Amino acid sequence: MQSDIKKVLYSEEQIKKRVGELAQEIKKDYEGKDLLTIGILRGAVMFYADLVRELDRPLHMNFMALSSYGISSSSSGAVRIQYDLEEDISNKHVLIVEDIVDTGLTLSYLTKTLNSRNPKTLKTCCLFDKPARRKVDFRPDYIGFQVPDVFIVGYGLDFAEKYRNLKYIGELMPEVYK
């Protein structure tokens, strides 16, 4: 697996530090408010677990699964909900936690869908933002790192369901995904 990585972009230590900083921002913004967090399966699992532990406050946790990639290295553009929320979000402060915003199609679709369910507030948090690939006008509320336009894996991010368990973020060798 390591031989498929061209270079490490973010070390385990850099990720841990930035997750802690994001948690501090979020805690400040939601002070005194009940918070419902939604982790997007499967890519955000590592980030989501680390982030909510760092929030160190009462909160509700829920999950959704969406798909726009399948086993391809690029988004199909068609977003579908594979697993929906198990609770009503109306009149709640909701924070969506996602691994990466690439084209913006998935989170744009999801925020429109969830806004129709009448939350009190709805914000998004991603660990990685790749604005060079945007197809829609979407900017997350909380961003961990802005990444270059390269194929990254690790810390939950995958290619064809592999590499999620890497403790760092690495650039995948092009010959692996082309």
What domains can you pick out in the chain, each with its CATH number?
A: 13-150 (3.40.50.2020)
Confidence (pTM): 0.92
In Å, how far are 2, 14, 89, 129 from 61, measured between CA atoms?
33, 25, 12, 23
Q: Are the CB atoms for 77 and 135 separated by under 8 Å? A: yes
Tokens matching residue 160: 């064809």
pLDDT tens by residue, 130-164: 999 999 999 999 999 999 999 999 999 999 999 99
Active-site annotation holds for 102: yes
pLDDT tens by residue, 29-46: 999 999 999 999 999 999
Q: Apex CA 56: angle with CA 30 and CA 156, to 5°? A: 95
Q: Are the CB atoms for 97 and 37 separated by under 8 Å? A: yes
pLDDT tens by residue, 6-26: 999 999 999 999 999 999 999
Query: Catalytic pick from 50, 102, 129, 158?
Result: 102
